[in-house]
Structures are given as structure tokens and as C-alpha cells.
Amino acid sequence: MSTPTHPHPVGPGADLQGKPAGIVTRTIAGGIDYVLVGFWAAGVYVGVAALSFLYNPVGWSWPRWSFGVVLILGAVSMVTYLTATWATSGKTLGGQVMGSRVVRDGGRVHLLRAFVRALVVVAFPIGLFWSAIDTRSRSVQDLVTGTAVLYAWRTDIGHR
């Protein structure tokens, strides 16, 4: 991994491209994704409230969702979102911002593998921190699904 194989090693951080992304980058990217899904869940809640207002304006009040419902909504949204982004570009929105990409053997992750990885991430988010200890910066989900997260600020890295 010490010699860059990509053809345009220019600009800041050019020597990092294609190397395993570190814990800080991945944590920030994940944080952005969590915030995004949080907004999405809030949007769903407001949408449902608006629909219920249209259905029954007189007796309307804010919908009361139990913690479990919210948790399941968030988890389903998260798994869907992560699966879709990893299986297509390999970059979630957080990954887009921080320039990190999820790959399998240096290429695109299969849909099923992406789904499994998303399940592991949602069920065991703290597994991310294993990447600080692992010699190749692999988190628990990476170890389970055989994937890796690389610095990929340029679009051609890990995209084949």
C-alpha cells in the first residue's frame, strides 16, 4: 500500500489515496450519516403528523410514538440507506464529505454483503472502534464482511 497505483497523485493528501482510512475520518463520516438519518426520521415523523392532521384536523395531536417504534424506524432507515450507498458508489454522504469509500478486494461491494455490513453496523456501532486497534484499520464490520474502508478523495479510487 506504500506505493500509490493511481495515475494522478496530485494535491493535498495525494499520497494517502487508496490507503486504509483511520478511526477519526471514519468516525466523522459515520457521525454525519447518523445525523442525516436522524433528520430523515424527524422528517418522517413530521410527515406522518401532517398526514394525520389532514385526516382528522379537529381531534389532531402530535403522534405519540414509543421509543421502540422510533428505534425500529431509525434502524430500518439506516440499514436501507447504508446498503444502498455502499452497494452503489461505496460512499455514504459522510463518506462523500470525508473522502472515504467502502470496498471489497479494491472494488464495489455486492448488495448482500453491503446489507450484512449495514446490519452489523446498526446492531453493533461500537465495532467501528476496533479499526483503531487493528493493524490494517479494519473495524468489526470489516472483519465480518471482508470489506475495507479506504481514503478515496478522488473518484477513481476503489471504483471499478
Partner 1 sequence: MQDHVVRFVDLAVGATVAVAVPVVGVARTVAPGAARAGRRLAYPPLVPARLAPGAVAQQLVLRGRWTRLRAQEALVRTARAAVPVVVERVLDEIDLTRLVLNRVDLAEVVVAALDELDLTAVVTQRVDLGQVVTTALDQLDLTEVVLDRVDLHRVVVQVLDGLDLTALVRDRVDLDALANQVIEDVDLPEIIRDSSSGVAADLVVEARTGAATADEVVARAVDRVLVWRRRREGRP
Q: How far is the CB of 49 from partner 1 (least distance, A)?
A: 33
Identify residues 69-108 at the interface with partner 1 (CB under 8 A): 97-99
Size of the site for partner 1 (CB under 8 A): 19
Report the nearest approach of partner 1 to the CB of residue 3 (Å).
16
> Please, what is the minimum distance in Å from the beta carbon of residue 21 to partner 1?
7
Burial (0-12, 13-18, 19+ Cβ within 10 Å), 158: buried
- Of residues 115-134, those binding partner 1 (CB under 8 A): 132-133
| Three cell numbers, residue 94 | 459522510
Asked if residue 153 binds partner 1 (CB under 8 A), the reply is yes
Stretch in the footprint of partner 1 (CB under 8 A) among 1-9, 10-18, 56-64, 107-115: 10-18
CB of 145 to partner 1, least distance (A): 22
Q: How far is the CB of 92 from partner 1 (least distance, A)?
A: 15
CA–CA separation, 100 vs 149, rounded Å? 6
Cell of 141: 464490520
Q: How far is CA 75 from CA 50, 68, 83, 101, 147, in A?
A: 23, 10, 12, 21, 21
CA distance 137 to 120: 17
Cell numbers 431509525 correspond to 74
Q: How far is CA 83 from the centre of its chain?
A: 8
The count of C-alpha atoms lying within 13 angstroms of the C-alpha of 111, restricted to the half-sphere facing its C-beta, is 2
Considering the complex, state which of residue 61 and residue 135 has its C-beta at the smaller distance from partner 1: 135
- What does the binding site for partner 1 look like in residue numbers (CB under 8 A)? 11-13, 16, 21-25, 28, 97-99, 132-133, 135, 137, 151, 153
